[in-house]
Amino acid sequence: MAASALTVPGAPVQVAPGLTVRPLSGWRVVRQGTGVLLTRGSGSLSVLPTGSGSDPATLASKYARQVLRPNARGLTLSRGLQTIRLPSGLAGVSFAYQGTFRGQGRQMPVQGEVTVLAGQRDGVVFDAWAQPEVYEYERSDVQTMIQTAEVG
């Protein structure tokens, strides 16, 4: 009962037209522009609209190549893509990663997971990360926010 009280969805945050995410209790928006960055202090979730025109596997590969790889040392990716389907019927893919990332003037080991979904009109990349010792604690919240996102 106490766990469910900690994960109450908040008001929807519009990331882009047709794309909203509902931060859970304790998560807050720290940056909003071409996407939204949510944090709960120890964990972060970046929600990035991709527009339309590509399948989730292509978008996932592109994200790993253009965003993760240039910013990480010792980057490792999980083998293959895991196919996912949300309760809304949306299909997508996900993969896990780990590496040392530059940020805020320091190098920090990070564990994370990228989920890419494609709606009828738009796509979205969810990139969730935290330090390896706390990532598993953040993962459940992130998955709930992804499952309840609205993607057009």
CATH topology of domain 2-151: Protein Transport Mog1p; Chain A (3.40.1000)
Q: What is the pTM of this model?
A: 0.90
What lies within 8 Å, CB to CB, of 89 at 6+ separation is: none
pLDDT confidence band for 43 (50 / 70 / 90): very high
Q: What percent of the chain has pLDDT over 70?
A: 91
What are the boundaries of each domain within the chain? 2-151
Least confident of 16-25, 35-44, 79-88, 100-109: 100-109
DSSP string over 36-90: EEEE-SSEEEEEEEEESSS-HHHHHHHHIIIIIHHHEEEEEE-SS-EEEE-TTS-
Chain segment 5-40, per-residue pLDDT in tens: 456 777 889 998 888 899 998 999 998 888 999 999
Q: How far is the CA of 89 from the CAs of 21, 42, 55, 86, 119, in angstroms?
A: 16, 31, 15, 5, 9
